[in-house]
């Protein structure tokens, strides 16, 4: 049974993970950290900062805010415990800190914890190799109206996968309202929609003169990210120090 410290326990994802761990034989949430320190739903203690946590745990799962990730990463390093970092829109400094941490503890970082999206990313890499020459690449993403960052970390992940399969400089163009010029072939357009309770929609289009190929993913419920983060927690709990992501988890499925 893995003991989880849930960082951001009072948020939408924190709640989804804590619900999933209830009556679960493999995972139990032993403590939480959040700006909000009261929640009737939880029987575990909630601390206002990681440094206040005096409860023994095996793995930290973080779904919080980019401003909170440095502190929890330093805490994980000090405790010598693995961290699954799922918060998005991280600064370059925070990404560098996570990399530094991965020299001493296992660090799992992914902007999208769903297995399906990570399979999509692999398909995008393949499709780009075959289709880029004759098509323009555009990405559209849609999320709920509470989401703070745009474009989504997942849209960037998909764009990065396409970029990695292209042998020339690629420029990302975010929405087009400020760009009054014709589209260049070496651009990847990324557009965001925000509204209602959309969990997460991503589509990449390879638009040629004669045909369009689309690859899309639709998350129906936050549970898909919750389940992925628990899979990641089990993965890092038994891993050596290093930097991991979902590609390590799904690698087996892509073996010949």
Distances (CA, A) of 78 to 45, 105, 109, 202: 21, 10, 19, 37
Annotated catalytic residue within 147, 163, 202, 217: 147
Nearer to ligand NAD, 71 or 207 (CB): 71
- Read out DSSP for 214-232? EEEEEE--THHHHHHHHHH
Nearer to ligand NAD, 60 or 111 (CB): 111
Cβ(1)–Cβ(30) below 8 Å: no
Output the smallest distance, CB 15 to ligand NAD, in A.
8
Query: How many residues of this chain bind ligand NAD (CB under 6 A)?
Result: 23
Q: Given candidates 22, 26, 36, 253, which one binds ligand NAD under the rule CB under 6 A?
A: 36
Three-class DSSP category at 202? strand
Output the smallest distance, CB 34 to ligand NAD, in A.
4
Output the smallest distance, CB 168 to ligand NAD, in A.
30
Would you call 66 a catalytic residue per the annotation?
A: no
Q: Nearest to residue 88, comparing CAs of 155, 175, 29?
A: 155
Taking CB under 6 A as the rule, does residue 225 contact ligand NAD?
A: yes
Nearer to ligand NAD, 94 or 135 (CB): 94
| Residue 243 main-chain phi, psi, to 5 deg | -105, 125
Strands (E) across 79-151 are located at 83-85, 106-109, 136-143
63-71, 98-106, 134-142, 177-185 -> range binding ligand NAD (CB under 6 A):
63-71
Three-class DSSP category at 20? helix
21-29, 34-42, 91-99, 236-244 -> range binding ligand NAD (CB under 6 A):
34-42
Taking CB under 6 A as the rule, does residue 63 contact ligand NAD?
A: yes
Site for ligand NAD in 77-136 (CB under 6 A): 86-88, 110-113
| Residue in the shown chain whose Cβ atom is closest to ligand NAD | 11
Annotated catalytic residue within 7, 15, 109, 143: 143
Nearer to ligand NAD, 132 or 225 (CB): 225
Cβ(62)–Cβ(85) below 8 Å: yes
Strands lying side by side in the sheet with 106-109: 46-47, 27-33, 2-7, 59-62, 83-85, 106-109, 242-244
Angle at 117 between CA 165 and CA 90, to 5 degrees: 80
Would you call 143 a catalytic residue per the annotation?
A: yes
Cβ(45)–Cβ(21) below 8 Å: no
**Footprint of ligand NAD (CB under 6 A):** 8, 10-14, 33-36, 63-65, 67-68, 86-88, 110-113, 225
Active-site amino acid positions: 143, 147
């Amino acid at each position: 049974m893995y003991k989880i410290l849930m960082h951001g326990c009072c948020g939408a994802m924190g709640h989804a993970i804590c619900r999933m761990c209830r009556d679960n034989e493999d995972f139990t949430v032993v403590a939480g950290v959040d700006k909000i320190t009261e929640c009737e739903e939880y029987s575990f203690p909630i601390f206002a900062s990681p440094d206040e946590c005096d409860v023994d745990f095996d793995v930290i799962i973080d779904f919080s805010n980019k401003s909170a990730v440095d502190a929890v990463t330093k805490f994980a390093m000090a405790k010598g415990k693995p961290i699954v970092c799922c918060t998005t829109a991280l600064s370059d400094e925070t990404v560098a800190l996570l990399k530094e941490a991965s020299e001493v503890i296992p660090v799992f970082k992914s902007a999208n914890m769903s297995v399906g999206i990570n399979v999509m990313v692999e398909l995008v890499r393949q499709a780009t190799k075959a289709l880029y020459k004759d098509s323009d690449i555009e990405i559209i993403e849609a999320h709920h109206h509470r989401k703070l960052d745009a474009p989504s970390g997942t849209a960037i992940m998909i764009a990065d996968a396409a970029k990695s399969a292209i042998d020339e400089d690629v420029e990302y163009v975010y929405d087009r309202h400020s760009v009054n010029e014709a589209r260049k072939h070496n651009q990847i357009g990324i557009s965001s929609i925000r509204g209602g309770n959309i969990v997460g929609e991503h589509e990449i289009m390879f638009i040629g003169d004669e045909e369009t190929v689309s690859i899309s993913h639709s998350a129906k419920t936050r549970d898909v990210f919750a389940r992925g983060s628990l899979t990641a927690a089990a993965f890092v709990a038994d891993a050596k120090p290093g930097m991991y992501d979902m590609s390590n988890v799904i690698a087996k499925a892509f073996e010949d």
